[in-house]
Amino acid sequence: MTRALGRATPTEERSYWTCLSDEELLKKTFTTTDPEGLPGLIHELPPQSPLPIIEFLYDFRGTDHTKLRCMHCNRPIHLAGYVLNSDDGRRFLVGHKCGGKIYGTDFNGILHDFEGARTRASLIKRMRNLYLGLPAFNAYLLAVRTHPTIAAYQHLRAKFKKETPRLWGALVMACFHDQGHLIIQHEIPDPDAEKLAETKYLRDLEEWRAMSHAQRKKFRRPQPPIKPIFKTIAENAGQLPGTTFFSDKPFSKKELDEIALQFRHLVDDLNIDERALSVYRDRAKYDSSERKTRGSLSATTAYMKQVLWQASVLLGRLEENFVKLAEPVRLFRVSQLSTICRWANSKLDNEYAVAGKSIQERDTYGKISTIGLPSEYTIPSMEGLEVFGRIINSND
């Protein structure tokens, strides 16, 4: 891992922050909560040559902290900014938008060096945490993949489709067309339509009566409207607690296995050599935050970003699968089953009723099928996922 995260020595002159080794970076503190209490703080701008370095940043925005004075504004109007350190050790404060007003475009360079070092230190710490936490997390993933609920989930879907195909198909269509909303169509009397039809009938009858006997032979006598006249209204009876159970993208044991395999490969990738880093050096050229970083530093930083980004994406996919695995628990609640049965009875020929925590279907031939959640259906703990997520996002 040390070889993979090494720093090359560029030929051009290096700044304070780019001269530090990774070990030195890890010992640095990049923020301060007491900028005005630092030793050596001055209140007049030192000579602008040579350029100072950014030593710390501070940010009290969103708090009730009193405003601070910076060297450009000479009055306390800032809540965020930087502590700059001159070559003789004198410190002074600059507001977060005032550095460029004092040093012009040169400030972008010293800010870039500081932010680059800060980012790299954070990445190294997170990579270290990733490396240390992966073995326990991989053991946790193995326990999840072998959890009995996974097989129970797959069996439940297969049984639902096989034993109650009409209900399954109707729920699939409700998810596809109505985003899981269970819509019941009602026909109710429409007095406005009846009034309009009656008015039209009387008008047509009056016109027919005004015709001559010869003309009447060409037109039939208007008939009074058939009442009652109905209109259809849609009632949203409820919504399914999730739509993936009835979709073509449900919880997948295969996807879970792929995620676990990729996490195992993250450990292998930590043994990457300098030759393999060339792909990350090329990738860094297109990373706006890395364009001014030189040589192997750019490559290894891009590599660490990629690994941590991949871990974050995999954790997101894993969490999505936990959510999918939990859908049946909410689906087979008695209140939800009652809603489904009421909706299904309004649409399908079969009869549906709640039996305990199950749906009972009686078809037109009297055959009864029952679909319920197994009593032992429990969701695997997400604690391992949450702990590992905190670990790889921690700078401690």
Residue 352 maps to a domain: yes
pLDDT-based confidence at residue 304 (cuts at 50, 70, 90) = confident
The H or E element containing residue 67 is: none
Distances (CA, A) of 88 to 69, 103, 161: 22, 18, 77
Residues in the chain: 396
CA atoms within 13 A on the CB side of 151: 4
In a domain, 69, yes or no: no
Residue 200 and residue 315 in one domain: no
Residue 9 has pLDDT above 50, yes or no: no
DSSP designation for 332: T
Task: State whether 131 and 176 are in the same domain.
Answer: yes
Residues 304 and 384 in one domain: yes
Residues 248 and 310 both lie in one domain = yes
Going by C-beta distance under 8 Å and a sequence separation of 6 or more, which residues neighbour residue 144? 256, 380, 384
| Per-residue model confidence as pLDDT tens digits over 15-66 | 789 888 888 998 999 999 999 999 999 988 888 778 899 999 999 999 999 9
Domain contains 19: no
Distance CA 36, CA 192 (A): 77
In a domain, 5, yes or no: no
Range of the domain at 384: 126-188+240-396
Between 32 and 289, where is the model more confident? 32
Residues 308-332: tens digit of each pLDDT: 999 999 999 999 999 999 999 999 9
> Does a structural domain hold residue 81?
no
Q: Is residue 284 part of a domain?
A: yes
pLDDT-based confidence at residue 202 (cuts at 50, 70, 90): very high
- Same domain for 135 and 265, yes or no, is yes
DSSP string, 264-313: HHHHHHTT--TTTTHHHHHHHTT-TTTTT--HHHHHHHHHHHHHHHHHHH
Cα 204 to Cα 162: distance, rounded to the nearest angstrom: 57
Domain co-membership, 258 together with 387: yes
Phi (first) and psi of residue 94, to 5 degrees: -135, 130
> Are residues 155 and 177 both part of a single domain?
yes
pLDDT the model gives residue 396: 77
- The span from the CA of 359 to the CA of 372, in Å, is 6
* pLDDT at residue 285 tops 90: no
pLDDT > 90: what percent of the chain? 60
Q: Is the pLDDT of residue 10 over 80?
A: no
Verify that 195 and 254 share a domain, yes or no.
no
95-126 pLDDT per residue, tens: 998 988 888 888 988 998 999 899 999 999 99
User: Could you tell me the pTM of the whole model?
Assistant: 0.74
Crossing angle (nearest 10°) for helices 165-178 and 334-347: 100
* 335 and 199 together in one domain: no
Read off the tokens for 225. 């409207």
Do 160 and 142 fall within a single domain?
yes
Q: Give dist(CA 51, CA 116) in Å, integer.
A: 17
> What is the average pLDDT score of the chain?
86
Structure confidence at residue 2 as a pLDDT band (50, 70, 90): very low
Residue with tokens 């780019």: 18
Residue 298's pLDDT is 66
- Give the pLDDT confidence of 118-132 residue by residue, as tens digits: 999 999 999 999 989
Domain boundary among 227, 252, 275: 227
Residue 273 pLDDT level (bands cut at 50, 70, 90) = low
For residue 36, tell me if it sits in a domain: no
Same-domain status, 321 and 199 = no
75 CB burial (10 A radius; 0-12, 13-18, 19+): exposed
Whether residue 177 has pLDDT greater than 60 = yes
Q: Does residue 4 have a pLDDT over 50?
A: no
> Within a domain: residue 205?
yes
| Per-residue confidence (pLDDT) for residue 242, from 0 to 100 | 85
Give the start-end residues of each E strand in the chain. Answer: 53-59, 68-69, 76-78, 80-85, 91-95, 181-189, 230-239, 351-355, 358-362, 368-372
For residues 179 and 196, membership in a common domain is answered with no
For 215-236, the pLDDT digits (tens) are: 888 888 999 999 899 988 888 9
Q: Residue 346 in contact with residue 340, Cβ under 8 Å?
A: no
Domain total in the chain: 2
